[in-house]
Each structure stands twice: as C-alpha cells, then as structure tokens.
Structure 1
Amino acid sequence: MNAFLRKRFPLLLSILSGLLMWAAWPSSPLTFLVFIGLVPLLAITDRVKDGRVYFGLLFLAFWIWNTGSTWWVGNTTVPASGIFANAFNALLMTIPWWGYKRTRARVDRVTGYFALIIYWLTFEYIHQQWELSWPWLTLGNVFAMRPGWVQWYEYTGTMGGSLWVLLMNILVYQAWRRGQHEPGWFFLWKDGWKPLLLLLFPLAVSYFVITAESETTEPSKNVVIVQPNIDPYDEKFSEGAAMDQLHKFLALTKEKTDSTTRFIIWPETALFPSGAWEHLLNDQPEVMEIRAFLAQHPRAKIVTGASTFRRYLPTEDVPATARIMNGEIYYDAFNSSIEIDTSLNIQIYHKAKLVPGVELTPYMRYLPFMKKLALNMGGISGSYGLTPGVPLFFNPDEQCNIFTAICYESVYGDFVAEKVREGANLLVVCTNDGWWGNTEGHRQHLQYARLRAIETRRWVARSANTGISCFITPRGTVIDPQPYWEAAVIKHAVTPYYHQTFYVKYSGFTAKAPLIFCILLVAYTIILRVIRRQHVENI
C-alpha cells in the first residue's frame, strides 16, 4: 500500500462500513453484507489511536448508514429536521463504540469484544425506552426481509439478531486478522470455520423451528382491510373533507364485507382528522353512519385510527402534555384507535410510542416552554397526550383480543410482546405512511411488522392509508400486499392464537440483561482503573 492510501486508509474503512450497512438494510436484497458491515470499524479501533480522529471516523460511518437508510425522515414541513435526526442518531451510535475503545485499552481482546456487544445491546435497549427513541436501525431489524433466517426470534426477539450480527462481524474480523499473519489459506482452517459455523447454526435452527410447528385447529375470523389512498398533505386534513372520506371508507368496505366478516380495519387517523371529544363520540355523525352500516352486519366490528380529545375534570391530575382551552379547560389530544360496534360502547386506545419531534416534544415536563415545538404534520399540531386508554380491544363474544399498533409502534418488539402478554391474540397495524412519499420508509415499515409476527406468533392485519396494506402470517409471510398509492380493499381469514412464545413470556427480563451486564462491566472497568493507578503510585 502506498503512502497516500496508507494515510487515508482509516477514512476509506469508515466510508466502506457506512456503505455496507446501508446496502444491507431493507428493502435491499443484499442482507448478507451486514455480516461484514462492522468489520471496518473493528479495524479502525485497532489502528487509530487519536481519540478525536476515532470519533470522527465512527460518526462518518454511522451518518452514512443513517442517511442512506432513513433520509426520508426529512419529508416533513421542516426538511432540516431529517438532517438533524440522522446526525443525532449517528452521534448516539458512536457511544457504545467509544466505550468499547476505552475498555479495550484496559482489558484483553476477548473481554473487549464482550464489552462491545454489551454496550451496543444496552444502547439498543435504552433507545427503545427513552423519549428520544428511534429503534428503526436496531441491528436485528436487518433480517426483516429474511423471515426464513430468523424464525428463532420467537425465543430472542430482535436482540438475538443484533447479537448474531455483532458476533459474525467479530469472528470475520478475527479470521481476517489471522490471515495477515498466517501463510496462504491456513488461517481459514484455524479461524475461518468459526464465522461459517455461526452463520449456518441459526439458519439450521430456523429451519427446524419451522418444520416443528404443527397446523392449528383454532377457529378463524374473517377480516377486511381498507386502504383508502388519501393524500395526507393535500386531501386528508382539508377542511370539510371528513364526511366525504368516511363515505369512501364505507364504499370500499362494502366491497368485501359479508355475513362472515368479524373485523374491519381502517388506517391511522381515518376518523375525525380535526379531532373529536371522547365523551361525545356516540354523537358524532361519522359514528352514527358507521353504526347504520354495521346494523346490516351486526357481528362485524370496525377498528380504526382516530384523532380524539380527552377533557380532564377539575378533580383529575393534569399531565404535562395537557393543553388549555378558554383559560380553564384542560385537555389532551391523542393519536388513537377505536373499536366501534352496534352497541354504545366504544373502546379507545391511545398511542403510547410517540414519534419524537412530530408527535412528542421530549421531556417537556422539564421544559414546558417547548410544548408547541412538535412539527406540524397536518391535522392536530403540537405534542400528543400519553394518558393511557384501554390496553387492548377485548371481544369476549369472538374470543379475540386485539392490540392495535399505531404507526411506528409496530417497530417496538418488546412493547408489542408486552401487549401479547396482556392477552392480545391478534395484532393490527393502523398506519399512515403517506407522509414519507414513495421512499424506503413505507417499505421498511411493512417489513418490520413481519418480525412482530414471528416474535409473537400472531397474525398481523396491516391497514396503511396509502399502502402497503396486507396480512402477515405468524411465520412472517406477507399475504395479498396492495400496491402503494392505490385504493384497495382485501379480505382474509386469520386465526387468533393463545400460546405465548418464550420471547413474549420473558422479554421483560431478557431485554434488561444487557443493561445489567453493562452496569457491572462499567463498574469493573472503573475498579480496574483505580487498582492499576494505586499500583503505579505504590511503585
């Protein structure tokens, strides 16, 4: 290698890592590149001594990955928000690698690799919990288009996939390092078999998991999904359009609804785009028309997205998210889903995982003056409320409990698993991916829902305003996907399952394991540093 390339080799490695991770990400078919995408960063860690240079190279790699995979988050009324989001997430990704670099300087190589795994998995766990959450690029999500590779997610969830990626990159790097010192291809015999075994073993497990599953005898339910294809920018929230849109929903619904239909799924914010008071829902003209339609199909129920308001009584605690009207009435706006049947009982679920900057101003209970800074994406602007509604839609007459994941709630594996632990036996995704245009955003979002199906072994009924609407089997197979930006209605029989997977039962504990190990590892590193310093001083 000449002097010019040698000097710039770490920079080339950084760019290569970012490009490999981007090329591996859904909906690219080059998923296998993820197994070597982090190898250049491991090489940089060993080669670069200057801390500022190391940080810059890490940031560059992660910024390329983030920007290439999720540039579409900038399709908002404030495009600069996408630039900030990608840069900020790239910055957060450098933290576990910075910790790995510092730990690696004090311990042996194997312990350093262990530290990297723990730090990264801890980062992914925290990134699903705090109010700046953005788990879109969780490493385990990379296999969303390869459900046949990860049927074992019913035991580990995406954390298992992240661990697989990290271990594969470490073993490939170790084999490459051995190749720098061993003659010919001898290193393949000594170390090359390790990544090969690690690659094949999960694939074999996935195969056996599939073949071991037996056919169910549980009764099925006929479900209708509507994809109205209403432009969220120019049509959805235009004044006076609510009833015209309702008529479009009903016209599409009638095409597939019959006496066997049990549930009808409409997308996010399908009803009340300008909001409706929850205590007055039964008086809304939209609800009255829906009930008139359901009177012809009394066993059917409509599950739909809606924008709702909840008023807080003077005796109730007022949350930090609350708005004030006329100087005295406190209320919250919610991104909701509701279930309507022929009775007067409307079940209301409030979205719990809000999009930072769009639906939620993070930590505004500490910074209340920032309450109005949430980006305006049409409809109700400002931060939404977080007061819980019902956890599930309970339907004892159909023995079917539905959890409706609104929009990107379906990206949170642990959160969906929690709802299944609470009794959900059918998953519904109500979303409006039209904000992002015809980009990878809506395609990636669809693919991630396949992982939720595998983790929980539940059917998923996905209704997306502009697409892609579909059904997803418990094995992650997509059924009847509808073209993007076309109105459509589909029908399929789904089976509400009751068995809980290992992941569903224990994800509340296993997800925290990396955090516990991380705390212990940091404590060990600090203690080791103090002991060494005291030893040097005594000498």
Structure 2
Amino acid sequence: MAKRSIHRLLPSLLAISSGLLLWAAWPTSPLTLLVFIAFIPLLYLTDLVQNRWVYFGCVYLAMVIWNVATTWWVGNTPLPASGIAANTINALIMCVPWLGFKNSRKRFGVTGSYVALIVYWLTFEYIHLNWELSWPWLTLGNIFAMHPNWVQWYEYTGASGGTLWILVANIALYSFWRQRKTLQAVPLGAYIWKSGGKPIAVIIVPFLFSLMVGFKSSADTSRGKPLSIVIVQPNIDPYDKFADGAENLQLEKFLSLTRQQVDSNTAYIVWPETALFPHGAWEHQLNEQPAVQAIRQLLRQYPKAKLITGATTLKRYMSKDEAPYSARPLEGGVYFDAFNTGLQIDTSSAIQIYHKSKLVPGVELVPYSRYLTFMESWALDMGGITGSYGRTPGVEVLENTNEHIKAFPTICYESIYGEFIAEHVRLGANLLFIITNDGWWGNTEGHRQHLQYARLRAIETRRWIARSANTGVSCFVDPMGNIKLAQPYWEEAVIKSTVTPGNTFTFYVQYGDLLSKGAVIFCILLIVYSIILRFTNRKPYVEGN
C-alpha cells in the first residue's frame, strides 16, 4: 500500500524536486552546480507519465515553483497581484518546450527528442527575449553570473551557450543513469569507467575552455587610454522620488555628492535612472530647464567631464499623422510621448538623447496595446508617468568626440538583453553604462540578481561597465566580469575609478546569438517535419528504449 502511494505521488515529487533545484541553483545562491541535475527529475517524468494532462500539470508545478521561489520579489510592490500574474503566466509559457519534447518522443525517438528539447528551449528563450511579453530574467544562461570564470567563452556564444551547456549536461547525466538501470549486471565501477566519460566531459570541458579564453582575453582587454569616471548613488526612496516638490532637493543631493569625487581628470559622471525630471520635461526645451543649467554650472569647472543621467522626457507631435501609436492626446490636436531617457549633458548646448527601448511589460509597456488600446489603463503606477512609454528611437550611442568615445547608456531592464547590448557595441560603443532604479522591490534578490547579470554583459562584449543604481548596488564591472568598488545597498555613495575603453569586437558582438537563431531555424524545420508526418501518416524511425 505504501509503495502504491509513493508511486502515485512520484510525478508530483519529481516536479517539486526540479522546481526547488532550479531555485536553489539560481543567483545569488552558492549552489550553482545543482543546475546540472535540476532538469533530471523532469526528464524522468517524461518517461514515467503517459497522460498528457497529468504531465502538463506536473511540468507547470515545477515551473511555478521555480518562478515563484526565484522571482517572488516582483510582487513586492503596492500591487502584489502583479507578481502573481508575472510568475504564473511566465511558468505557463515555460511549459511549451516541455510539451513539445513530450510530443516528440513518439515522433523522433529518444535521442531525437533530446535534440528537440534543446531546440525548443533555445527557441523559447529567443522569442522571450524579443516579443512584447518579454521576461528573460530566468534565461538559463544567466545562472552562471556569479561565476564569470566559468563562462569566459560567453564572448563567443552569449548566455545561450550557458543554456545549451545546462541542457546537454542534464541529458547526459540522465542518459547515464537511465542506461545504468538496463545494465544492472555490469559492476558499477566498470560501468562508470566505460560510460562515465561522456557526462563528465560535458561538464568539465567548458570549465577548461573558459580558463583558456579568460587567459587570452585578460591580455587583450588591458590596452587603451584610461578614463576617470565618477558614479553617484543618491539612495532616494523610489516611492518618494516622484512626490511634489522633491525634485529640487534631489538635484541638490546629486550635485553635492558629485562634488565629492569629480576633478579635472573626470571624463564621465554617471547618475541613475530617472534622476532628472521625474514628472517629465519637454525635449525641445531641455536647455531651458533649471536642472540642466545647474548641471552646466558645475561642469564649467570641469570642462572635460560629461554627465550621463537618466530622465523622464516628453516629445511633442503637432498632428495625429505624425504621432506614433504610443502617443497621448493634448489639447488643440497635439500629441505627446513620454520616454524613459538617458541624457548626455556637457557645457555645450547640445544634449544627446537616448530613449529606452526594452521596456518592462505591465509597468512601462502594455504588450500589444496598439491592437487593444483599452489595455493602456492596465499599466501599473510605479510613480511618475503611467501607461506605455514611447519607443521612438533617440540616438543609438552617446558620442564624446574629444575623447573619441562612444558610450551606450543601458537603462535598467535593458541590461539583461545580451544581443541588444552587443548590437550597440557593434555600432561603436567603447563603454557601457547601466543606469537603474532597483529600489522598487526593496532589499530582495531582485536588485542582487540584476547586479550579477551585468557581469555577463561585460564578458560578452569585453567592455567596462559603470553601473549607477539609485539605491544600489553601484559599481564598476571589468571586461572579465569582475565587480569593482561595489557599494552597500540603501546607502548614499559616490565612487571613482579609471576604465579602459574597448576597441575590439568579440565573436558574439560581430555575429550575434547564432546558437539561438540556429535553434529557431531548426525548430521551424522540426515543426514542418512533424506536420508532414501527421498528414502523410508516416512513422519515423524510433530507436529502441
């Protein structure tokens, strides 16, 4: 009786185990190596459970546990329902590759279905990076962010290489265990000696390759003229930031902190996301803003310096025909867009304007609202402008002609998009800035995970990163992914260091995410082949179990 009860509960136990293992391995946990066995329970579940609805329910349970345990902090806002929706919907989407894997077992056999799982999962992650419901926080390759010395080869593959490594390692270890069950007569030692080389190699070889790549790249990234950069962490409560009358006091705080470290050699001063104009300022009137005039007064004492800062800006359109779908009406037939913006301000009258384009679903962007306009009212109010931000592009990079530098001011959520950042490095960005406001979710894993992900972007592009976070953690990240001068969370801070602009392109910067793009093509071919099999009633060759 007890054995029957355990057998009945086994699918649920396997699902729970997989979800908990994925959570336990995720940054900032030190148990990263658990990810190499985290999917084994689901692989076993696929062999064990025949009923598709039971299988779907178990996979969904695993994905929900992983999502909720890892990103529960998304709901740590005045509207907790947003976190519930994000975690449950994302878990549902994550089930799709596993359902495809289950379906492919009968069509492609055991080995073929494992290939299909890898292809389906990589395709899912690529789509999840590029559609308007994008939430790539749990991209599998992000899991190695705390161990940059393990994945120096991300300069070739990006984070999708880490995803591939995890999936292949889990499949290799599960196949090793599965085959052992059929060869009980063979002594365990002999079996490990004969068959254990493959899973061991799958796990160990990427470590060794990382050491080789890291040794070579550390020499290549040390060249160039160093620049002095000052980063300000003002520690302003994001829920107070947008209060009436607070703007001038906050500006004085920024200026006062900046004066503590700026000097005649400073090339850049970096302030965080939405540091200026929390209620918006017209882009055609920026030079008339008192805040800009006060900044220029400071910069005249340090004419080499340029200020990179976040801001909320507004752009006016004089007719409906000129306005994009995201624009909102004003009186007299005029429309306007609101932008989450990065500005470069110096002593000249020319202000360079970058518009954030990777927007947070539900907060900065209501997905596909251009087709369902009534959904704009569903945008969460996190202070400042509500409704979808505009997506009309500004400049692609911020240019500093005196120093022959082009900088890319990644704004908050954009820093988890590896290929997006690589595209801007390909456009000439020598330096990367991350300006962010991670205080919305409090002192949770959210801001710590976000910090760690920056290390992967540095490796992929071999660029220095200067990170200014409103409430922390502000720091520098070198091209090898090492964090420098990290400041405590929820404390005022101002730091200064020198960085070396990068001038070479990594393979990943040159060619982008070839792994994921190849997986998408292969996925389409698999789907077409499946349809042909279905309509021709042909049975593919299925290897023995």
- TM-score tier (shorter): over 0.9
In the TM superposition, residue 510 of structure 1 has moved relative to its aligned partner by: 4.5
Query: CA offsets per residue over residues 2-47 of structure 1, 9 Å max, x none?
Result: 2211111111000000000000000000000000000000000011
Is structure 2 residue 202 aligned with structure 1 residue 198? Answer: yes
For 1:63, give the aligned amino acid. Answer: V
In the TM superposition, residue 380 of structure 1 has moved relative to its aligned partner by: 1.2
Secondary structure at the counterpart of residue 22 of structure 1: helix
Query: CA offsets per residue over residues 207-251 of structure 1, 9 Å max, x none?
Result: 011222325331010000000000011x21110111110110011
Residue aligning to 2:378? 373
Query: CA offsets per residue over residues 465-500 of structure 1, 9 Å max, x none?
Result: 000000000000000000000000000101111100
Name the stretch that deviates more: 180-189 or 345-354. Answer: 180-189
- 1:167/1:358 Cα in 2 relative to 1: closer, same or farther (>3 Å)? same
Query: 2-side partners of 1:81 and 1:441: how far apart?
Result: 15
In the TM superposition, residue 73 of structure 1 has moved relative to its aligned partner by: 0.5
Query: 1-side partners of 2:488 and 2:323: how far apart?
Result: 44
Query: 1-side partners of 2:238 and 2:165: how far apart?
Result: 39
Is structure 2 residue 171 aligned with structure 1 residue 170? Answer: yes
Residue aligning to 2:53? 52
Of residues 203, 223, 229, the one that matches 1:217 is 223
Equivalence map 1:265-280=2 (5 Å): 265-280=270-285
Secondary structure at the counterpart of residue 512 of structure 1: helix
In the TM superposition, residue 76 of structure 1 has moved relative to its aligned partner by: 2.4
Residue aligning to 1:26? 27
In the TM superposition, residue 181 of structure 1 has moved relative to its aligned partner by: 2.3
- 1:534/1:412 Cα in 2 relative to 1: closer, same or farther (>3 Å)? closer
Residue aligning to 1:489? 494
Query: 1-side partners of 2:256 and 2:123: how far apart?
Result: 48
Secondary structure at the counterpart of residue 182 of structure 2: coil
Query: 2-side partners of 1:355 and 1:192: how far apart?
Result: 44
For 1:328, give the aligned amino acid. Answer: G
Is structure 2 residue 532 aligned with structure 1 residue 531? Answer: no
In the TM superposition, residue 407 of structure 1 has moved relative to its aligned partner by: 0.5
Query: CA offsets per residue over residues 297-322 of structure 1, 9 Å max, x none?
Result: 01101000000000013386211110
Query: 2-side partners of 1:296 and 1:317: how far apart?
Result: 41
Given that 2:380 and 2:386 are in contact with CA atoms closer than 8 Å, whether structure 1 keeps it comes out as: yes
Query: 2-side partners of 1:527 and 1:97: how far apart?
Result: 21
Residue aligning to 2:474? 469
Secondary structure at the counterpart of residue 512 of structure 2: helix
Is structure 2 residue 148 aligned with structure 1 residue 157? Answer: no
Where do 5+ consecutive residues of structure 1 fail to align?
none
Residue aligning to 1:228? 234
- 1:54/1:516 Cα in 2 relative to 1: closer, same or farther (>3 Å)? same
Query: CA offsets per residue over residues 390-418 of structure 1, 9 Å max, x none?
Result: 11101121111010110110000010011
In the TM superposition, residue 49 of structure 1 has moved relative to its aligned partner by: 0.4
In the TM superposition, residue 103 of structure 1 has moved relative to its aligned partner by: 1.0
TM-score, normalisation: structure 2? 0.96
Equivalence map 1:94-493=2 (5 Å): 94-183=95-184, 184-185=187-188, 186-213=190-217, 214=219, 216-233=222-239, 235-314=240-319, 317-326=322-331, 328-493=333-498
Given that 1:267 and 1:304 are in contact with CA atoms closer than 8 Å, whether structure 2 keeps it comes out as: yes
In the TM superposition, residue 134 of structure 1 has moved relative to its aligned partner by: 0.3
Query: 1-side partners of 2:530 and 2:287: how far apart?
Result: 60
In the TM superposition, residue 192 of structure 1 has moved relative to its aligned partner by: 2.0
Residue aligning to 2:543? none
Given that 1:72 and 1:436 are in contact with CA atoms closer than 8 Å, whether structure 2 keeps it comes out as: yes
Given that 2:320 and 2:335 are in contact with CA atoms closer than 8 Å, whether structure 1 keeps it comes out as: no
Given that 1:140 and 1:161 are in contact with CA atoms closer than 8 Å, whether structure 2 keeps it comes out as: yes
- 1:75/1:534 Cα in 2 relative to 1: closer, same or farther (>3 Å)? closer
Secondary structure at the counterpart of residue 455 of structure 1: helix
For 2:430, give the aligned amino acid. Answer: N
Name the stretch that deviates more: 502-511 or 436-445. Answer: 502-511
In the TM superposition, residue 529 of structure 1 has moved relative to its aligned partner by: 2.6
Secondary structure at the counterpart of residue 315 of structure 2: strand
For 2:58, give the aligned amino acid. Answer: L
The sequence identity of aligned pairs, in percent, is: 58
Given that 1:224 and 1:253 are in contact with CA atoms closer than 8 Å, whether structure 2 keeps it comes out as: yes
Residue aligning to 2:82? 81
Question: In angstroms, what is the RMSD of aligned CA positions?
Answer: 1.3
In the TM superposition, residue 191 of structure 1 has moved relative to its aligned partner by: 2.8
In the TM superposition, residue 327 of structure 1 has moved relative to its aligned partner by: 5.2
Residue aligning to 2:12? 11
The number of aligned residues is 534
In the TM superposition, residue 187 of structure 1 has moved relative to its aligned partner by: 3.2
Residue aligning to 1:503? 508
Name the stretch that deviates more: 289-298 or 75-84. Answer: 75-84
